C-alpha cells in the first residue's frame, strides 16, 4: 500500500464495504444510484425526442437519427472509460493508491488531446461526413448544425465518461446521481423554455444538452483538481504517457472502442434498411429503443455496480467474493425484472402514446415496436450479469465479439430475411431487436464457460503466490 497517499474517511469506509460488506446490500446500495444516473441519461434522450415530437414527427426522427450518429464517436470515450475503470479498480482494490492517481491524471490528459484532434477533423467536414454515412438528404439540409453541436457535446462527454468511470471505480455512485440531477434540471428547464415559450427548433435542443454536459465537466474538473481527496485527484506530475500506464488501458479499451464503433455504424445500416418501411419507422425504432432501454436501466446500473465490486475484489485477490457477487447480481436482476415487466407491458400503449402526440399513424408504428423491444428485459438478465464478469476480468475481446455477433450475425441478417422473404410490416424493427438479443445468449453462455475456467486458473495462481 502506498505510504504517500491516504484515503479520507469516506473513501476508506466505501472501500471496506465493497471488499467486506453483504453482497446484496453492496450491489443495491451502489447499483441503485448508478441505475438512476443511467435512467436520467436515457430520459435526457427521451426528452429530446419528446420535445422534438412537439415540433414535428420528422424532427423526432431527425433527433433519433443524429443521436445514433454521435454514439459512434462517443465509442472512443466509452471504451477508454472502461479501460480506465478497470485499471483504477484493480489498483484501488490492491491498495496501490499511487497507481490510481497516475491513471487518473494520464487518462484525463489523453482524452483532452483526443477531443481536440477529433474537433479539428470532424467539424469542418460535417456535411461530407454525413453524406459518407448515407444520412437522408433532408436530415443533412435541416439538421447539420444540430449534428455539429451534438458532436461538440460528445467531445465534452469524453471527459465526463472518464470522470464518471473514476467515480464508479471507487463506488461513489451517490455523487454520480447528484451530478446528473443537477444537469437534468438545467437540461429540462432550458429545453422546455426553448420549445414551449420561444418556439425554438431542434438546434436549441442540442444547445441545452451541451450546456448541461458542460456543467458536469466543470464540476468534475473541480473535484479532480480539488484537495478533498489525496488519491482521486488530477496532477500534472502524475501524467505518464508510458507503456506501463497506457498499455493495459489501451489493451482493454481497444476491443470495446472497435466493437462500439462498428456496432453503432451497424445501427446506421439498420436505419438505412428500415427506411424502406417508411421514414417514420426509423424514428419509431429509435424511440422504441430508448423506451425499452429505460426499462433495463436497473439491470445496467447493477451491472456497473457489480463491475466495481468484482474489480476491487479481484485486485484484493478475493475470488470467493467475486463468485458471490455474480450470483447475487443474477438473483437481483431476476427479481427486478419480474416486478417491473408486467406494469411496463400493460401500460405500453399509454407510454408510447405520450411520444406520438396525437399522431395515430406514428403511434400505430411505435406501439408494436415497443411491445417487442420491452421483452429484452428477460434476455438482459443473463447478458448484463455475464458482461459484468467479463468486464471485471478485462475480457473485452469476448465482449467485442459478442457485441458484433448480436449485430452482424443475428440482427442485420434477420432484418434482411424479414425484408426480402416475409410480409411483416414496420413492427420488424422491434422483432429483430428481440430475436437478436435472445440469440446472443447462446455465445454469451459459451464464453462464460470459457471465462470461468480462466478465472479459476487466475485464482489458483493467486493462491499459490500467497
Encode pLDDT of 104-162 as tens digits.
999 999 999 988 888 888 888 888 878 876 777 777 777 788 888 888 998 998 899 99
HSE (CB half, 13 Å, CA atoms) of 459?
A: 13
Residue 131 φ then ψ, to 5°:
-70, -35
Cβ–Cβ under 8 Å, residues 164 and 304:
no
Q: Does residue 330 surpass a pLDDT of 80?
A: yes
Q: What is the pLDDT at residue 61?
A: 67
Q: What is the pLDDT at residue 12?
A: 86
Q: Enumerate the H helices of 135-278 as residue ranges.
A: 137-169, 173-192, 202-225, 243-274
Instruction: Indicate if the alpha-carbon torsion angle 272, 278, 280, 286 is positive or negative.
Output: negative
| C-alpha cell belonging to residue 229 | 481527496
**Can you give the pTM of this predicted structure?**
0.83
**CA 94 from centre of chain:** 27
C-alpha distances out from residue 78 to 34, 184, 256, 258, 370, Å: 16, 20, 8, 11, 27
Query: What residue ranges do the domains of the chain occupy?
Result: 9-465
Cβ–Cβ under 8 Å, residues 248 and 87:
yes
Encode pLDDT of 210-261 as tens digits.
998 999 999 999 989 876 777 888 988 989 988 888 888 888 888 888 887 7
Encode pLDDT of 43-70 as tens digits.
766 666 666 666 666 666 677 677 766 7
Encode pLDDT of 367-423 as tens digits.
999 999 999 999 999 999 999 999 999 999 999 999 899 999 999 999 999 999 999
- Computed over every residue of the chain, the mean pLDDT equals 86
Q: What is the 3-state secondary structure (H, E, C) of 61-91?
A: HHHHHHHHHHHHHHHHHHHHHHHHHHHHHHH
Q: Does residue 193 surpass a pLDDT of 70?
A: yes
Q: How many residues are listed for the chain in this entry?
A: 466
What is the DSSP secondary-structure string of 382-399? HHHHHHHHHHHTT-HHHH
Instruction: Indicate if the alpha-carbon torsion angle 15, 16, 20, 24 is positive or negative.
Output: negative
What is the DSSP secondary-structure string of 21-67? S-HHHHHHHHHHHHHHHHHHHHHHHHHHHHHHHHH-HHHHHHHHHHH
Q: What is the pLDDT at residue 56?
A: 63
Q: Which of 86-90, 182-186, 196-200, 282-286 has the highest mean pLDDT?
A: 86-90
Classify burial at 242, counting beta carbons within 10 Å of its beta carbon; exposed 0-12, middle 13-18, buried 19 or more: exposed
Tell me what percent of the residues of the chain surpass a pLDDT of 70: 93
Amino acid at each position: 500500500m502506498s505510504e504517500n497517499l491516504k484515503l479520507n474517511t469516506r473513501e476508506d469506509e466505501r472501500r471496506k464495504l465493497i471488499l467486506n460488506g453483504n453482497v446484496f446490500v453492496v450491489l443495491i446500495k451502489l447499483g441503485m444510484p448508478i441505475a438512476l444516473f443511467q435512467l436520467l441519461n436515457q430520459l435526457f434522450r427521451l426528452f429530446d425526442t419528446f420535445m422534438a415530437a412537439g415540433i414535428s414527427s420528422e424532427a423526432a426522427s431527425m433527433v433519433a437519427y443524429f443521436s445514433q450518429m454521435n454514439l459512434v464517436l462517443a465509442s472512443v470515450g466509452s471504451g477508454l472509460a472502461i479501460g480506465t475503470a478497470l485499471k483504477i479498480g484493480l489498483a484501488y482494490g490492491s491498495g496501490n493508491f499511487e497507481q490510481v492517481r497516475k491513471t487518473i491524471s494520464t487518462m484525463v490528459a489523453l482524452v483532452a488531446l483526443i477531443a481536440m484532434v477529433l474537433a479539428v477533423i470532424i467539424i469542418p467536414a460535417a456535411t461530407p461526413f454525413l453524406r459518407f454515412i448515407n444520412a437522408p438528404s433532408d436530415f443533412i439540409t435541416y439538421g447539420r448544425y444540430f449534428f455539429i453541436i451534438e458532436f461538440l457535446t460528445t467531445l465534452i462527454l469524453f471527459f465526463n465518461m472518464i470522470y464518471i468511470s473514476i467515480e464508479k471505480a471507487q463506488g461513489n455512485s451517490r455523487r454520480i446521481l447528484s451530478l446528473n440531477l443537477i444537469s437534468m434540471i438545467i437540461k429540462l428547464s432550458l429545453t422546455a423554455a426553448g420549445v414551449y415559450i420561444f418556439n425554438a427548433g431542434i438546434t436549441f435542443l442540442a444547445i441545452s444538452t451541451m450546456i448541461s454536459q458542460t456543467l458536469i465537466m466543470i464540476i468534475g474538473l473541480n473535484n479532480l483538481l480539488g484537495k478533498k481527496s489525496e488519491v482521486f485527484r488530477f496532477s500534472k506530475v502524475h501524467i505518464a504517457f508510458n507503456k506501463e500506464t497506457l498499455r493495459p488501458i489501451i489493451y482493454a479499451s481497444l476491443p470495446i472502442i472497435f466493437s462500439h464503433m462498428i456496432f453503432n455504424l451497424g445501427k446506421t445500416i439498420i436505419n438505412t434498411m428500415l427506411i424502406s418501411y417508411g421514414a417514420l419507422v426509423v424514428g419509431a425504432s429509435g424511440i422504441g429503443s430508448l423506451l425499452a432501454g429505460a426499462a433495463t436501466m436497473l439491470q445496467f446500473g447493477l451491472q456497473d455496480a457489480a463491475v466495481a465490486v468484482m474489480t476491487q475484489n479481484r485486485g484484493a485477490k478475493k475470488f470467493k467474493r467475486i463468485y458471490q457477487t455474480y450470483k447475487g447480481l443474477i438473483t437481483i436482476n431476476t427479481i427486478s425484472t419480474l416486478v417491473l415487466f408486467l406494469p411496463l407491458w400493460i401500460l405500453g400503449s399509454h407510454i408510447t402514446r405520450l411520444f406520438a402526440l396525437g399522431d395515430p399513424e406514428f403511434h400505430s408504428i411505435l406501439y408494436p415496436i415497443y411491445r417487442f423491444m420491452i421483452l429484452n428485459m428477460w434476455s438482459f438478465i443473463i447478458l448484463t450479469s455475464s458482461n459484468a464478469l467479463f468486464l471485471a476480468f478485462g475480457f473485452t475481446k469476448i465482449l467485442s465479439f459478442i457485441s458484433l455477433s448480436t449485430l452482424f450475425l443475428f440482427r442485420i441478417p434477420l432484418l434482411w430475411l424479414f425484408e426480402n422473404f416475409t410480409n411483416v410490416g414496420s413492427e420488424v424493427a422491434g422483432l429483430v431487436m428481440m430475436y437478436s438479443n435472445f440469440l446472443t445468449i447462446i455465445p454469451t453462455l459459451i464464453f462464460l464457460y470459457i471465462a470461468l475456467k480462466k478465472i479459476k486458473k487466475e485464482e489458483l495462481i493467486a493462491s499459490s503466490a500467497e
